[in-house]
Structure 1
């Protein structure tokens, strides 16, 4: 349930604060097909989550 809650919060932030459309994210559009690779967004989320886990582990 914790992972589901985190995914919900991340999705909420990406939708309402436009985090999913950063420079460096790759979008291919051809006809009715769109392929989206959120590379920069994934890196930023990874760094933030790594810092959170680091500080939680350090506090124990």
Structure 2
């Protein structure tokens, strides 16, 4: 159980570190990515970007 918490923490840290780079590359602005303002805060729901990145990672793992 502790191992999963560490993995989730590291994944979230990596995603937050890479998010400015991915945004400059166009991820988060694909059709199907939602951005809205609620309660004075801007919220992002990157559905299409998540699917694209998941497909790329699964393709990479199958090739290795």
The TM tier, using the shorter chain, reads: 0.5 to 0.7
Equivalent pairs, count:
51
**Root-mean-square deviation over aligned CA pairs:** 2.4
1:21 corresponds, among 15, 25, 29, to 29
Question: Which residues of structure 1 form unaligned runs of 5+?
Answer: none
- List alignment gaps of at least 5 residues for structure 2: 1-9
TM-score, structure 1 as length reference: 0.65
Higher helix proportion (structure 1 or 2): 2
Q: TM-score, normalised by structure 2?
A: 0.62
